[in-house]
């Protein structure tokens, strides 16, 4: 399982991790792995099992003032029982205290990667399953225990655990704690990363909190000093009907029995957004069973502040050539391939778009292309989703301008108006205007989860945002076999939108197994092109019987065999890290 770890750090010469003190730049205030207290002239002695006992190498973080805010070192000091109990007395934590103990490099790596795997799993499961279902909880539980994270409320007596195999519950809690803080480092650096990290950590927290027994929930609130206002019995009986009608799980009897918390609606946005809470005068009335929402809100606020702080105290990371590759690769693992960097830029001609849209475009893009050709217009959401996709398949800025202009001026927009009102946003997509950020083509996740289409819109994911009946008709009109359509509709019903799309790929390309795990429209396009140009070996089901149904159903964590072979070869480019994390 850990066989791939050296590859992760293949850009880092492990021996270089130790250097004499004078080598350090005075302004390099934050160091992970670096021993700031290293004696001048000490030589490297690192090995894969950790530093030699004679070396006082330490790794940690210091803030600008030189204060150690997190520290790891080769020599692991035993944490005292008291500390252990204080930090890890509860199976869930709010991560208020950064770890102050010492930790080996091996542990550092292992923890970071395990947590990343866990967060990836959280993300994948979140797309494939409804988060409240038993299935979701079961799958997540499996990931959780396989990766060695804590999931038990009770801790065995410390002295009686000697006979147990594997890490103790305390050790797992420690891993949860430390790994969270390591990923904060890797994920604090840009807004996108922070958003991703916060989202996954929140989902993880929600799951873990919801799994707690009631008495442990209360204990958790108490331990972390979380207090919320409750409403009086009078107010409760006055609002009884409204309270009952605002939540699925509240009934006449439970209103009387449970506490209702009254918080500003801003603190319960998830419940407000989905209209699962009663609102009055700017306050949300939250039944006790939904208290996770408020706790989660606190969790997010704190984490988001902490990440901003960490980012501010980490300016040196960018200039530290030892650290940068590691943190960058930890943090890049979440996006997969970056489809904005195109190798085949300029290789698609405008005349090819029509035939390509039928052959190699995923359904969402095919739908947008058709709508554009028919209406000579697309609204903002459609222009973004389709425009960035086209950029991703290799259209140049000039081609894109020509493409959009020629279509729009067939409609109600004249060339002058186009140049004034629309050209800007197309140049924007290519990073030529405004903030000059080069926009990345949207991933499936983004298409499915953000900015759902409304009146007049054609964007979004057809498997997610179409009426099943219309989807069926559309697939029929594309001459898909009835059996295949049924399979797709079943996947849609189970909310496996990406798998449905993958099935569509298989059906339209006439193969049994796509052999990749679809997560990006541009990936769909590339795989299709590879297949159609004969550049990819087609894998028929018969050739790989080991790929079971289970693997497909969990959406994603599947890597084509060709890549799996690679794991034994050195990687010159660490961009492939993502594939490791998809592999289980």
Q: Can residue 272 be called a binding residue for another protein (CB under 8 A)?
A: yes
Q: Residue 286 has what DSSP assignment?
A: E
| φ, ψ (nearest 5 deg) of residue 72 | -130, 150
Contact with another protein (CB under 8 A) among 164, 256, 470, 544: 470
Determine contact, residues 408/425, Cβ cutoff 8 Å. no
Q: Pattern of binders to another protein over 398-417, x per CB under 8 A? A: -------------------x
Select from 237-245, 311-319, 518-526, 527-535 the region that touches another protein (CB under 8 A). 237-245
Contact with another protein (CB under 8 A) among 73, 466, 508, 517: 466
Nearer to another protein, 185 or 378 (CB): 378
Nearer to another protein, 105 or 365 (CB): 365
Round to whole Å and give the CA distance between 114 and 94: 19
Task: Kindly state the smallest distance separating residue 274's Cβ from another protein, in Å.
Answer: 8
Q: Can residue 465 be called a binding residue for another protein (CB under 8 A)?
A: yes
Nearer to another protein, 301 or 319 (CB): 301
Task: Kindly state the smallest distance separating residue 296's Cβ from another protein, in Å.
Answer: 13
Contact with another protein (CB under 8 A) among 22, 469, 550, 572: 469
- 3-class SS at 388? helix
- Binding residues for another protein, rule CB under 8 A, total 46
Which 276-305 residues touch another protein, going by CB under 8 A?
Answer: 278-283
Select from 270-278, 313-321, 328-336, 564-572 the region that touches another protein (CB under 8 A). 270-278
Across 67-167, the runs of DSSP E, i.e. the strands, are 68-73
Task: Kindly state the smallest distance separating residue 541's Cβ from another protein, in Å.
Answer: 32
The dihedral through the CA atoms of 443, 331, 395, 421 has a sign that is positive
Task: Kindly state the smallest distance separating residue 374's Cβ from another protein, in Å.
Answer: 11
Q: Can residue 495 be called a binding residue for another protein (CB under 8 A)?
A: no
Q: Can residue 273 be called a binding residue for another protein (CB under 8 A)?
A: yes
Select from 140-148, 223-231, 448-456, 558-566 the region that touches another protein (CB under 8 A). 448-456
What crossing angle do the helices spanning 191-211 and 134-146 adopt, rounded to 10°? 100
Determine contact, residues 353/526, Cβ cutoff 8 Å. no
Nearer to another protein, 111 or 463 (CB): 463
Task: Kindly state the smallest distance separating residue 421's Cβ from another protein, in Å.
Answer: 7
Select from 140-148, 224-232, 439-447, 466-474 the region that touches another protein (CB under 8 A). 466-474
Q: Can residue 351 be called a binding residue for another protein (CB under 8 A)?
A: no
Nearest Cα to Cα of residue 557 among 117, 178, 166: 117
Determine contact, residues 578/336, Cβ cutoff 8 Å. yes
The Cβ of residue 240 has, within 10 Å, a number of other Cβ atoms equal to 14
Helix (H) or strand (E) holding 503: helix 497-509
Contact with another protein (CB under 8 A) among 47, 238, 402, 454: 454
Task: Kindly state the smallest distance separating residue 271's Cβ from another protein, in Å.
Answer: 9
Select from 71-79, 309-317, 402-410, 469-477 the region that touches another protein (CB under 8 A). 469-477
For 341: left if phi > 0, alpha if psi spans -120 to 50, otherwise beta; the answer is: beta
Helix (H) or strand (E) holding 257: helix 252-257
Q: Residue 230 has what DSSP assignment?
A: B
Task: Kindly state the smallest distance separating residue 258's Cβ from another protein, in Å.
Answer: 17
Contact with another protein (CB under 8 A) among 380, 410, 493, 540: 380
- Please name the residues in contact with 345: beta carbons below 8 A apart, sequence gap of 6 or more: 394, 396
Round to whole Å and give the CA distance between 476 and 11: 50
Q: Can residue 421 be called a binding residue for another protein (CB under 8 A)?
A: yes
Round to whole Å and give the CA distance between 392 and 399: 13
Q: Pattern of binders to another protein over 105-124, x per CB under 8 A? A: --------------------
- Please name the residues in contact with 459: beta carbons below 8 A apart, sequence gap of 6 or more: 364, 368, 378, 379, 381, 382, 384, 385, 386, 447, 451, 453
Cα 491 versus chain centre, distance: 22
Contact with another protein (CB under 8 A) among 458, 497, 516, 581: 458
Q: Pattern of binders to another protein over 552-581, x per CB under 8 A? A: ------------------------------
Determine contact, residues 84/175, Cβ cutoff 8 Å. no
How far CA 361 is from CA of 114, 127, 386, 448, in Å, comes to: 35, 22, 11, 17
Task: Kindly state the smallest distance separating residue 285's Cβ from another protein, in Å.
Answer: 11
Contact with another protein (CB under 8 A) among 457, 513, 527, 578: 457
Residue 407 tokens read as 């279509």
Contact with another protein (CB under 8 A) among 43, 133, 135, 266: 266
Nearer to another protein, 226 or 269 (CB): 269
- 3-class SS at 23? helix
Nearest Cα to Cα of residue 112 among 69, 75, 147: 147
Residue numbers at the binding site for another protein (CB under 8 A): 241-242, 244-248, 265-266, 269-270, 272-275, 278-283, 367, 371, 380-381, 417, 420-421, 435, 451-460, 462, 465-467, 469-471
């Amino acid at each position: 399982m850990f066989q791939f770890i050296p590859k992760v750090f293949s850009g880092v010469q492990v021996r270089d991790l130790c250097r004499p003190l004078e080598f350090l730049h005075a302004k390099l205030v934050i160091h992970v792995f670096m021993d700031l207290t290293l004696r001048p002239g000490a030589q490297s002695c690192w090995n894969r099992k950790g530093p030699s006992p004679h070396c006082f190498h330490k790794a940690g973080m210091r803030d600008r003032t030189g204060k150690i805010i997190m520290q790891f070192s080769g020599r692991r000091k035993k944490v005292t029982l008291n500390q252990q109990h204080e930090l890890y007395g509860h199976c869930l934590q709010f991560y208020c205290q950064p770890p102050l103990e010492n930790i080996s490099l091996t542990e550092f790596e292992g923890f970071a990667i395990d947590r990343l795997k866990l967060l990836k799993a959280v993300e994948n499961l979140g797309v494939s399953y409804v988060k409240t279902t038993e299935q979701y909880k079961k799958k997540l539980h499996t990931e959780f225990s396989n990766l060695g994270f804590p999931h038990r409320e009770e801790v065995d007596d410390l002295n009686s655990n000697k006979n147990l195999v594997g890490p103790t519950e305390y050790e797992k809690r420690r891993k949860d704690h430390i790994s969270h803080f390591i990923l904060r480092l890797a994920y604090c650096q840009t807004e996108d990363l922070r958003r991703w990290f916060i989202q996954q950590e929140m989902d993880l927290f929600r799951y873990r909190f919801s799994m707690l027994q009631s008495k442990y929930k209360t204990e958790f609130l108490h331990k972390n000093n979380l207090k919320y206002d409750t409403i009086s019995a009078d107010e409760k009986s006055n609002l009884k009907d409204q309270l009952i009608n605002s939540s699925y799980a509240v009934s006449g009897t439970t209103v009387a029995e449970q506490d209702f918390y009254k918080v500003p609606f801003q603190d319960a946005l998830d419940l407000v957004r989905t209209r699962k809470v009663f609102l009055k005068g700017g306050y949300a009335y939250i039944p006790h069973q939904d208290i996770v929402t408020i706790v989660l809100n606190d969790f997010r606020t704190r984490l988001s502040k902490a990440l901003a702080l960490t980012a501010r105290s980490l300016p040196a990371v960018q200039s530290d050539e030892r650290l940068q590759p590691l943190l960058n690769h930890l943090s890049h693992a979440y996006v997969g391939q970056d489809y904005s960097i195109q190798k085949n830029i300029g290789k698609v001609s405008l005349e090819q778009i029509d035939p390509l849209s039928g052959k190699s475009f995923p359904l969402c893009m095919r739908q947008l292309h058709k709508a554009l050709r028919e209406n000579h217009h697309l609204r903002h959401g459609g222009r973004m989703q389709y425009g960035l996709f086209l950029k991703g398949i290799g259209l140049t800025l000039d081609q894109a301008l020509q493409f959009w202009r020629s279509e729009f001026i067939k409609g109600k927009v004249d060339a002058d108006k186009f140049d004034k009102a629309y050209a800007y946003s197309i140049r924007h997509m290519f990073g030529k205007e405004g903030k000059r950020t080069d926009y990345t083509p949207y991933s499936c996740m983004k298409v499915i989860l953000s900015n759902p289409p409304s009146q007049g819109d054609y964007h979004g994911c057809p498997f997610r945002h179409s009426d099943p009946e219309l989807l069926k008709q559309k697939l029929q009109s594309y001459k898909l076999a009835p059996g295949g359509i049924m399979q797709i509709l079943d996947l849609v019903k189970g909310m496996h939108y990406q798998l449905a799309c993958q099935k569509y790929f298989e059906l339209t390309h006439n193969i049994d197994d796509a052999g990749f795990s679809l997560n990006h429209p541009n990936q769909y396009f590339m795989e299709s092109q590879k297949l159609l140009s004969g550049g990819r070996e087609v894998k028929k089901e018969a050739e790989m019987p080991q790929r079971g149904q289970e693997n497909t159903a969990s959406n994603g964590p599947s890597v084509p065999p060709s890549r799996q072979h690679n794991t034994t070869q050195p990687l010159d480019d660490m961009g492939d890290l993502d594939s490791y994390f998809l592999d289980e």
